[in-house]
Every structure is written in C-alpha cells, then in structure tokens.
C-alpha cells in the first residue's frame, strides 16, 4: 500500500531534502505519471512513454498492475488535474522533439532532463543530432545507474552534463560538453521553471538567447498567475500538495497571465506556440466524441518560442 501522497506521486520518503542531496522527487513523480499515461484506457489520449516504468520502484510498479490501486491513486492521492497535465505536456514535448529529430536539427538540449526517455524512445530517428541531457548530479547519476542496471544502451549522440541550475553557469556547462554555439538548437525545459528563482530563469533564457543562433527554439512550461487564479481549478490543491509533500522543491516562479509575449520579447524570443490550460485540454485531451478527458490545473501553461 502507499502510505502517503508523496510516496505515490514521487516515490520518495526523505521529506524536505533538496535535489542537491537526493534525486528529484518531482522528476520521479513525472515518470510515474507518464507510466500511468502509457496504460491509459482511452486510446486517443494514451501516453507514448513505454520506458517510464523502468525507473519506478516496485511499489510504484504494483500500481500499474492493480486496477483498484491505480483508481485509488488517481482519485484520492493525486492533486486534481495533475495526471491530465503530465499526459498532455508529455505529448506536446514529444511532438517538438520528434519534429526536431526528423528535421535533423543539429542539437537538442534537455534542461532538467530528469527521467526523460526521448533520447531512447526516438533513437531510431536520431541521425546526426547531438543530444545534451542536463540535470542536477544526484538525479542524473541515479538515472544513469538505472539505465546501466537495465542494460539500456546509450545512443552515441547523447551527452550527460551535470549542472545545478541555481548556482552553475549554463554557458560553461554547455560549452565544456562540446555544445556548438553556431548550430541551431532545440531546447526542452519541461517541468523545471516553476522550481527556479526568477533570477535563474532569466539567466537561462539569457544564455540561450546569446549563445544560440536565430532559428533556435525553446519549449517550456510555466505557471501563470493573476488575482483570479488562486480560486481557479486545481490551483489551491496543487500548491497545497507541494507545500505539504515536497518542501525540498518549492514552487518559486511564475509569469503574469497574458504577459508571456512581452516577457519573452524582452529576453530575445518570439512566441511560436502558446497553450493556456484550456488550450492544453482542447489540443491534447479531447476524446473522439468531442468531450474533454479532464481538466488541468488552471495555472499550467506551455510555450514554444524562437530565438530572434
């Protein structure tokens, strides 16, 4: 049995410990939800991450095999809309990565890769693209250990780069790993910005704008805020869940609702695609009969932007 929401969603038991001390609980929680999405009964919205379950604990895997336990986790433990959001978010970034690989974009950089599996799921379409996976050393070392234990061969194009986004220089980390600042690059920043300080977010975007040529792009998700947002669907519950169960990874960053265009323009980017909560639901959670599979927390937004 799961003894707490934290155990179910994150697989962790070291309450309050920061990612510098242990692998990221939110990254493991996202892997758990992607594994749930892969066995989603509604085929039209089913997730595609066939490898996510390989990173899970035995306790978490048991949920996937026991329908009643899965139902309990979905209805009683997860904060409202969290599962639907991870399912939809994964689909959005899958499409960006797959398109970049098919177009032979020279470089893809995963900022805060966590237990991302796209370098392995899409290995058959990786040609000359170099892939850089950046993350805190604790999470990255755990991921590499699990991949090795499973005998999962690493594509030769993949480079692991340890970094602490709060304190380390992204420029130095990338250039030290062989990043080519002259080559067009697609950056994936999934499930990260909300845990960083505004200064760290600005530093990351500034580095990308300076060290990537026009035509490069970044996709990231973020939390939108406004006075009305506090009472919108799933917002109070999501914030309360993080305060209670993930104090080592507090929510720290957001962007004023409706200001994403100006926010990015002032940092050297133009919006290519932007989804608010209702857009996410419409694009990625619509069933064949036209109904919506579920609502995502109202503060969740995703943007894809180009370097100008």
pLDDT, tens digit (0-9, with 9 covering 90-100), for 163-201 = 998 889 999 999 999 999 999 999 999 999 999 999 999
Res 75: pLDDT: 76
Token representation of residue 193? 């910005």
Angle at 200 between CA 197 and CA 203, to 5 degrees: 150
Res 8: pLDDT: 39
CB atoms < 10 A from the CB of 109, how many? Answer: 25
Angle at 170 between CA 160 and CA 34, to 5 degrees: 50
Residues 6 or more apart whose CB falls under 8 angstroms from that of 30 comprise 86, 114, 115, 191
The CATH number for 79-307, chosen from 3.40.50.300, 3.40.50.150, 3.40.50.10440, 3.50.50.60, is 3.40.50.150
Res 16: pLDDT: 52
Res 246: pLDDT: 82
Regions of the chain with pLDDT less than 50: 1-14
Res 60: pLDDT: 92
Domain residue spans of the chain? 79-307
Token representation of residue 170? 């992204």
Cα distances (Å, whole numbers) of residue 4 to 73, 76, 113: 10, 11, 26
pTM above 0.85, yes or no: yes
Closest CA to 191 of 39, 301, 80: 301
């Amino acid at each position: 049995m799961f003894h707490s929401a934290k155990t179910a969603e994150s697989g962790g038991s070291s309450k309050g410990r920061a990612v510098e001390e242990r692998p990221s609980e939110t990254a493991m929680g996202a892997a758990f939800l992607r594994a749930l999405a892969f066995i989603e009964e509604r085929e039209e919205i089913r997730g595609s991450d066939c490898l996510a379950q390989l990173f899970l604990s035995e306790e978490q895997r048991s949920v996937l095999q026991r329908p009643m336990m899965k139902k309990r986790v979905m209805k009683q433990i997860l904060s409202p809309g969290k599962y639907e959001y991870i399912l939809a978010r994964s689909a959005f970034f899958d499409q960006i990565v797959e398109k970049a690989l098919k177009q032979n974009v020279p470089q893809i950089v995963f900022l805060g890769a966590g237990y991302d599996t796209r370098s392995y799921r899409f290995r058959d379409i990786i040609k000359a693209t170099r892939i850089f996976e950046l993350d805190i050393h604790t999470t990255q070392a755990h991921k590499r250990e699990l991949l090795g234990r499973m005998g999962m061969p690493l594509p030769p194009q993949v480079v692991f780069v340890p970094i602490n986004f709060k304190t380390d220089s992204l420029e130095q980390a990338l250039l030290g790993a062989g990043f080519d600042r002259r080559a067009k690059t697609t950056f994936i920043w999934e499930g990260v910005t909300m845990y960083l300080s505004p200064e760290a977010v600005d530093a990351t975007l500034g580095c990308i704008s300076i060290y990537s040529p026009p035509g490069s792009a970044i996709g990231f998700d973020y939390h939108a805020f406004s006075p009305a947002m506090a009472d919108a669907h799933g917002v109070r519950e999501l914030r309360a869940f993080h305060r209670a169960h993930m104090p080592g990874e507090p929510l720290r960053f957001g962007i004023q609702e409706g200001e994403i265009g100006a926010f990015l323009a002032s940092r050297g980017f133009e919006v290519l695609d932007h989804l608010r909560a209702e857009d996410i639901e419409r694009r990625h959670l619509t069933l064949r009969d036209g109904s919506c599979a579920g609502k995502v927390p109202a503060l969740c937004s995703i943007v894809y932007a180009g370097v100008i």
